């Protein structure tokens, strides 16, 4: 049943604010809303109950509503939507909103608010949502008049999904959704905001300059980030990288935009990047940065960053350019458009210039690669976390939508599960939110019901949103959780070992639950694997259960560390390799 | 270096706090900030004075432009421009000081806009430095209260910061 059944006289239908919220989402093409009801949104939930076009997913904590909407958005490229109540509903969602903001994920977050006459009176479940969320949203609105509701929702989706995407909060006081106050409803199709005009096309003169630099480069490298995934520029990127024959590295957020199994791919760069990627960054003479923001986890010490390079930077957000690092050729525009223009100009220019002499460069890179920096000992009785990820890759043919929490397991996944397609690797890179993985997997699985979705997690992270096991049961989501259980907050423990003389202050997770029984109590399948030789069969068994949620508690080597590592304050060339490499002379 | 930046903002609730929040969140300096609606009631014009090296000021301008409420922005310090600030000073003005104060008001082309037996309120408009000079020139111990608007500015010539 649609709320906009044509009126007999063809006039706009009369809807209440609550009905407008629902109908505007339907008109916006929204399929799923992740939410949790409460006092201030009861009118909206009542309107939701009385319609059939919009599906609502009931989470068990508002943080998970935002993460699930975010996971849905990352897996599809569409805007994620969540609906929470005022006060604690809104504050619980803030972590999820900030997570989306840091990674530029399009979300529209509808928050209930106390009725307008009560605003500012410290009413029950009142909080200044617009004030609290202001620093972690792309924009936010407080709607005080039902007549502004439809237009505001249209604006919110427009802002969230265009330019550099991001979360937009709409705070809606309860009286604005009053079911007894009906007004004519028309959803605005076109919207123009005089104060908001994201750049679409890059400046051709600048792109030409960049191409000239690329053609003259001796040691070029592409450095690509999440912007390529978000801007749907993966195909254009792949074509350009292939046409140039240049090496390419990617940030954590950009993995999968270029096929990671391709020989031109050097692996991830940065703090836990590969030796070859970081050394290439250190020695490059022309760096082509695309949709990446020179984050401190990527650059290492800024003074040592790419000391020999002229830098080309393509980004849709002008404020990302020259924020942390000086740039020689800035190009503002949508990544897909700029890369298409760049490819065209590159092909036009290429015959005129001499073929780029980068054979020597590749020879150097091959030497770095020969170090095999990710190598880890395999002749152990304990399951190495790296081996667990490699086995996961083997069992799933690299086809997973893989979400992750934050810590060692996240880095191992980035290093050992090579994604060949964009939007397959879903993790909180910017904010580093533990607890993200499971709810994000809910969003990804609902977006792709037929696909295999897994969440790789740690024993500390998983407990931060463990209540979502109930949501997975309610909607029969066949997600697989791969828990790399080392009994520690692994990354904290690693830093304490390396930088605090092994004083393991509160990084030991005492009193872990029995994850198998815990999963079973929620109606799921629980499995525990403790020996390396059992792992592959166990994973095959788990993934063969296409209609069941399976929680795999994989007991891994508790003291394994993530290498290579660039310590804080060091440059790309000052990587610390694993102890088994340390004995060897570095190139 | 000191920069004076004029911003046209949507006259929406919260626009001012977005700007103030941006400056505190990113650790930018803010010396003064004035804002009022313009002849077009849907627009506010803000003048803000900040300091920082070229890179920081460039980032400030980019971040201001990024705010959805920002319609247009100009760094007035990049060209010829006029700055004016308004000040009202309440001073003790008893018998022996009244004539001296009156003379200072004339010299600075200020105005006395409130008079009692024992006090004046003096109004003075001009570049911020002129206002500083006037305060320095006032005899010690006479100032009761000073209120300043913060500078506003406009570019010289026919071009305007409009839509």
List, for residues A298-333, the tens digit of each pLDDT value. 998 888 999 999 999 999 999 999 899 999 999 999
Phi, psi of A514 (to 5 degrees): -80, 100
| B68/A323 touch (CB, cutoff 8 Å), yes or no | no
**Alpha-carbon Rg of chain A, whole angstroms?**
25
A193 at interface of B, judged by CB pairs closer than 8 A:
yes
Show the tokens assigned to A384. Answer: 């190495």
Tell me the chain B residues in contact with residue A191 when contact means C-beta distances shorter than 8 Å.
Answer: none
Question: B159 CB contacts (<8 Å, ≥6 apart)?
Answer: none
- pLDDT above 90: residue A568: no
Judge contact between A515 and A482, C-beta under 8 A.
Answer: no
- pLDDT above 90: residue A579: no
| B59/A319 touch (CB, cutoff 8 Å), yes or no | yes
Mutate: best of B10, B26, B44, B68, partner A, most A CBs <10 A: B68
Show the tokens assigned to A377. Answer: 């000992």
Tell me the chain B residues in contact with residue A317 when contact means C-beta distances shorter than 8 Å.
Answer: 66
CA distance A400 to chain B (A): 36
Tell me which of A62, A283, A390, A560 is the catalytic residue: A62
Fold observed for domain A14-184: Rossmann fold (3.40.50)
List, for residues A538-549, the tens digit of each pLDDT value. 999 999 999 999
DSSP of A11-36, one letter per residue? PPPEEEHHHHHHHHHHHTT--EEEE-
| B68/A138 touch (CB, cutoff 8 Å), yes or no | yes
Judge contact between A432 and A380, C-beta under 8 A.
Answer: no
Name the closest residue on chain B to residue A164, using Cα atoms: B66
A467 assigned to active site: no
Tell me the chain A residues in contact with residue B9 when contact means C-beta distances shorter than 8 Å.
Answer: 195
In angstroms, rounded to a whole number, what is the distance separating the alpha carbons of residues A460 and A508? 9
Show the tokens assigned to A236. Answer: 């254009």
Q: Judge: domain A385-562, CATH 3.90.470.20.
A: no
Judge contact between A287 and A312, C-beta under 8 A.
Answer: yes
Residue A357's pLDDT is what? 73
A192 at interface of B, judged by CB pairs closer than 8 A:
no
In angstroms, rounded to a whole number, what is the distance separating the alpha carbons of residues B145 and A165? 49
Judge contact between A161 and A81, C-beta under 8 A.
Answer: no
In angstroms, rounded to a whole number, what is the distance separating the alpha carbons of residues A449 and A75? 12
Segment B10-19 mean pLDDT = 92
Residue A379's pLDDT is what? 81
3-state SS class at A256: coil
CB atoms within 10 A of CB A172: 30
CATH 3.40.50.1220-classified regions of chain A: 204-370
Report the percent of chain A where pLDDT is more than 90: 91
B121 band by pLDDT with thresholds 50, 70 and 90: very high
ipTM (interface pTM) = 0.92
Domain residue spans of chain B: 2-79, 82-152
A575 assigned to active site: no
Tell me the chain A residues in contact with residue B18 when contact means C-beta distances shorter than 8 Å.
Answer: 134
Judge contact between A70 and A78, C-beta under 8 A.
Answer: no
The mean pLDDT value of chain A amounts to: 95
C-alpha to C-alpha distances, A379 to A113, A323, A382, B27, nearest whole angstrom: 59, 46, 9, 51
| A318/B63 touch (CB, cutoff 8 Å), yes or no | no
Q: Could you tell me the end-to-end alpha-carbon distance of chain B, in angstroms, rounded to an integer?
A: 28
CATH 3.40.50.970-classified regions of chain A: 14-184, 385-562
- pLDDT above 90: residue B126: yes
Show the tokens assigned to A476. Answer: 């029969």
| B62/A319 touch (CB, cutoff 8 Å), yes or no | yes
| B17/A317 touch (CB, cutoff 8 Å), yes or no | no
Judge contact between A134 and A140, C-beta under 8 A.
Answer: yes
Tell me the chain A residues in contact with residue B55 when contact means C-beta distances shorter than 8 Å.
Answer: 322
| Strand ranges in A295-435 using DSSP code E only, listed in sequence order | 310-315, 329-332, 401-404, 425-426
Q: Judge: domain A204-370, CATH 3.30.70.141.
A: no
Residue A524's pLDDT is what? 98
| A196/B68 touch (CB, cutoff 8 Å), yes or no | yes
- pLDDT above 60: residue A9: yes
List, for residues A239-262, the tens digit of each pLDDT value. 999 999 999 999 999 999 999 999
Residue with tokens 């626009």: B15
Angle, helix B54-66 to helix B15-25, in steps of 10 degrees:
150
Q: Which CATH class is domain B82-152?
A: alpha beta
Q: What is the CATH number of domain B2-79?
A: 3.30.70.260
Report the percent of chain B where pLDDT is more than 70: 100
A194 at interface of B, judged by CB pairs closer than 8 A:
yes
Residue of A286, A277, A282, A291 whose CA lies nearest to A321: A291
């Amino acid at each position: 049943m649609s709320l906009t059944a044509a009126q007999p006289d063809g006039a706009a239908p009369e809807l209440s604010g609550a009905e407008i919220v629902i109908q505007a989402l339907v008109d916006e093409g929204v399929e799923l809303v992740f939410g949790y009801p409460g006092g201030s949104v009861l009118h909206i939930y009542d309107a939701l109950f009385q319609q059939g076009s919009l599906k609502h997913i009931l989470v068990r904590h508002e943080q998970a509503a935002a993460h699930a909407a975010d996971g849905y958005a990352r897996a599809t490229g569409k805007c994620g939507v969540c609906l929470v109540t005022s006060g604690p509903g809104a504050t619980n969602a803030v972590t999820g909103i900030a997570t989306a903001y840091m990674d530029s994920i399009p979300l529209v977050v509808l928050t209930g608010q106390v009725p307008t006459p009560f605003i500012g009176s410290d009413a029950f479940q009142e909080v200044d949502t617009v004030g609290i969320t202001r620093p972690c949203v792309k924009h936010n609105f407080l709607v005080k008049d039902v007549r502004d509701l439809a237009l505001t929702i249209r604006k919110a989706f427009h802002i969230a999904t265009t330019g550099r995407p991001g979360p937009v909060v709409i705070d809606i006081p309860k009286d604005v959704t009053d079911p007894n106050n009906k007004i004519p409803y028309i959803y605005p199709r076109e919207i123009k905001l005089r104060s908001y005009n994201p750049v679409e096309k890059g400046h051709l003169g600048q792109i030409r300059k960049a191409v000239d630099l690329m053609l003259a480069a001796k040691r070029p490298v592409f450095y690509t980030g999440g912007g390529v995934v978000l801007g749907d520029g993966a195909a254009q990127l792949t074509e350009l990288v292939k046409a140039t024959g240049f090496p390419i590295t990617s940030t954590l957020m950009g993995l999968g935009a270029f096929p990671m199994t391709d020989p031109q791919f050097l692996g991830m760069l940065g703090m836990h990047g590969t030796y070859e990627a970081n050394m290439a960054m250190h020695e490059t003479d022309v760096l082509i940065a695309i949709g990446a923001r020179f984050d401190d986890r990527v650059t290492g010490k800024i003074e040592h960053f790419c000391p020999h390079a002229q830098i080309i930077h393509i980004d849709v957000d002008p404020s990302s350019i020259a924020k942390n690092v000086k740039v020689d050729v800035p190009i503002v525009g949508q990544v897909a458009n700029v890369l298409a223009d760049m490819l065209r100009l590159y092909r036009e220019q290429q015959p005129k210039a001499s073929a780029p002499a980068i054979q020597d460069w590749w020879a150097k890179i091959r030497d770095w690669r020969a170090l095999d920096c990710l190598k880890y000992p395999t002749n152990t009785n304990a399951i190495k976390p790296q081996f667990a990820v490699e086995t996961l890759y083997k069992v799933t043919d690299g086809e997973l939508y893989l979400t992750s929490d934050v810590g060692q397991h996240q880095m191992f996944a980035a290093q050992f599960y090579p994604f060949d397609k964009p939007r397959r690797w879903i993790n909180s890179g910017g904010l580093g939110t533990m607890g993200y993985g499971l709810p994000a997997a809910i969003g990804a699985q609902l977006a792709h019901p037929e696909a295999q979705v897994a969440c790789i997690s740690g024993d500390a992270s998983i407990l931060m949103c463990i209540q979502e096991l109930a949501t997975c049961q309610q909607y029969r989501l066949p997600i697989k959780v791969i828990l790399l259980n080392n009994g520690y907050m692994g990354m904290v423990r690693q830093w304490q070992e390396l930088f605090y003389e092994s004083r393991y202050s509160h990084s030991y997770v005492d009193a872990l639950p029995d994850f198998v029984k815990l999963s079973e109590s929620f109606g799921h399948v629980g499995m525990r694997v403790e020996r390396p030789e059992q792992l592959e069969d166990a994973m095959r068994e788990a993934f063969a259960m296409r209609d069941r949620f399976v929680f795999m508690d994989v007991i891994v080597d508790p003291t394994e560390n993530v290498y290579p590592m660039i310590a804080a304050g060091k440059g790309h060339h000052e990587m610390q390799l694993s102890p088994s490499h340390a004995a060897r002379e570095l190139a | 270096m000191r920069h004076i930046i004029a911003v046209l903002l949507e006259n929406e609730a919260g626009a001012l706090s977005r700007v103030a929040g941006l400056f505190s969140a990113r650790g930018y300096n803010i010396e003064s900030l004035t804002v009022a609606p313009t002849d077009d009631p849907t627009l506010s014009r803000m003048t803000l004075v900040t300091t920082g090296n070229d890179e920081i000021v460039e980032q400030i301008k980019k971040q201001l432009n990024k705010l959805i409420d920002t319609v247009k922005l100009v760094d007035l310090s990049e060209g010829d421009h006029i700055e004016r600030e308004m000040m009202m000073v309440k001073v003790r003005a008893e018998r022996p000081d009244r004539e001296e104060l009156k003379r200072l008001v004339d010299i600075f082309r200020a105005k006395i806009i409130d008079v009692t037996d024992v006090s004046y309120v003096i109004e003075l408009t001009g570049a911020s430095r002129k206002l500083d000079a006037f305060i320095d020139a006032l005899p010690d111990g006479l100032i009761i209260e000073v209120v300043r608007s913060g500078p506003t500015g406009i570019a010289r010539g026919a071009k305007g910061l409009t839509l």
